Amino acid sequence: MSYLRTVRSLCKPSRGLILGSLIAAGFANHAIAGFIVFEAAGATPALITPTRDAFRTAVGGGTVAGANGDFGGLRREINWDGVPNASADPNPLAADFFNTTSPRGVVFSTPGTGFLVSANAGGSTPILFGFPNDFQTFSAQRLFTAVNSNITDVNFFLPGTSTAATTSAFGLIFVDVEVANLTKLEFFDAGNALLFSRTALVAGNQGLSFLGAVANAGEQISRVRITSGANTIVANGVLGDPNSDVVVMDDFLFATPAAATIPEPGSLGLLGLGTLAFGLMRRRQRDQ
Ligand SMILES: [Ca+2]
Ligand SMILES: [Ca+2]
Ligand SMILES: [Ca+2]
């Protein structure tokens, strides 16, 4: 199954409320932000590939990566598969691996204790984090997870630098989503205001779920929070809680992080509207 739809996912405030918040805050375009959602779930990679491909097209296209997961300067991917053994299970993945060793403009953080990329076959560490009956790959052979937490935060930088940046689109593949409304994506702006939130489709045991969204009104995503199920991976073959849904991740796809621009294109019109409303209010007060 697959769905493509535009979601006005947050509030739909009345025009008066919008104008009120515009006057109070200067601009508040997140309140009427829209994102184009791409989502699909299925038992095999083939069932979600068309939706992944549609997301790729929406973010600039390309199917063959250049250096550092770069697709024409427009977008990036991380499939984890090229991570060396020294940075894979049982060894931790450095949080800034994909902005230093392989600069793609993302640095991870978590309330947990770190990150793991799963082992390749043929070594002494079991593949798929030691759960071959729960996980599979979308892209072979490696998967990704936070350790001791179901939360991964993704912060964006101009690739290879410490200059904070924003993206306009983010999507990923979840593995083994079995319970609804636990696994989700949240996007935040530079002021930490929530721009977008959506839960992943249930794919069943060992299934794959794609969830991504593309800004369609100039929204600038400063941080993505990924909530992967409710369970945690403690170490290879060890869960934090045997009774709740464990979910891990495969491919990340995102628009190449770029320097934030202020004001945003969508804000210009709103700012003008706010100024107009303010002017009208003052004129009305003056006329009374
Ligand atoms: Ca499972
Ligand atoms: Ca992979
Ligand atoms: Ca699960």
What digits encode the pLDDT tens for the residues 146-164?
Answer: 999 999 999 999 999 999 9
- Say how many Å lie between the CA of residue 155 and the centre of ligand 2: 21
Task: State the ligand closest to the CA atom of 135.
Answer: 1
Look at residue 213 in the predicted model and tell me its pLDDT.
Answer: 97
- Say how many Å lie between the CA of residue 207 and the centre of ligand 3: 9
Whether 26 has a pLDDT exceeding 50, the answer reads no
Look at residue 6 in the predicted model and tell me its pLDDT.
Answer: 40
Using 50, 70 and 90 to split pLDDT, how confident is the model at 270?
A: low
The residues placing their C-beta within 5 Å of ligand 3, an ion, are: 176, 178, 245-246
- Can you read off the two tokens belonging to residue 112? 């947990």
Contacts of 25 (CB under 8 A, 6+ apart): none
Mean pLDDT for all residues in the chain: 86
Q: Kindly state the helix (H) or strand (E) to which residue 192 belongs, with its residue range.
A: none
Task: State the ligand closest to the CA atom of 131.
Answer: 1
Share above pLDDT 90 across residues of the chain, in percent, rounded to a whole number:
78
Taking the C-alpha atoms of residue 179 and residue 181, their distance in angstroms, rounded to an integer, is 7
Taking the C-alpha atoms of residue 134 and residue 206, their distance in angstroms, rounded to an integer, is 5
Using 50, 70 and 90 to split pLDDT, how confident is the model at 261?
A: confident
Provide the β-strand partners of residue 124.
none
Look at residue 267 in the predicted model and tell me its pLDDT.
Answer: 52
Give the single-character DSSP code of 169: E
Distinct helix (H) and strand (E) counts, the chain? 3, 16
Whether 132 has a pLDDT exceeding 60, the answer reads yes
Look at residue 242 in the predicted model and tell me its pLDDT.
Answer: 86
Provide the β-strand partners of residue 63.
none
Using 50, 70 and 90 to split pLDDT, how confident is the model at 166?
A: very high
Look at residue 266 in the predicted model and tell me its pLDDT.
Answer: 54
Whether 12 has a pLDDT exceeding 50, the answer reads no
Give the single-character DSSP code of 92: P
pLDDT digits (tens, 9 = 90+) for 63-96: 999 999 999 999 999 999 999 999 999 999 999 9
Backbone angles phi, psi at 209, to 5 degrees: -125, 125
Look at residue 34 in the predicted model and tell me its pLDDT.
Answer: 84
Please answer whether residues 213 and 196 qualify as being in contact, where contact means their C-beta atoms are separated by less than 8 angstroms.
Answer: yes
CB atoms within 10 A of CB 239: 17
Taking every pair of Cα atoms in the chain, the longest distance, rounded to a whole number of angstroms, is: 82
- Residues found in the chain: 288
- Say how many Å lie between the CA of residue 133 and the centre of ligand 3: 10
Domain boundaries, the chain: 2-287
- Can you read off the two tokens belonging to residue 138? 């979308």
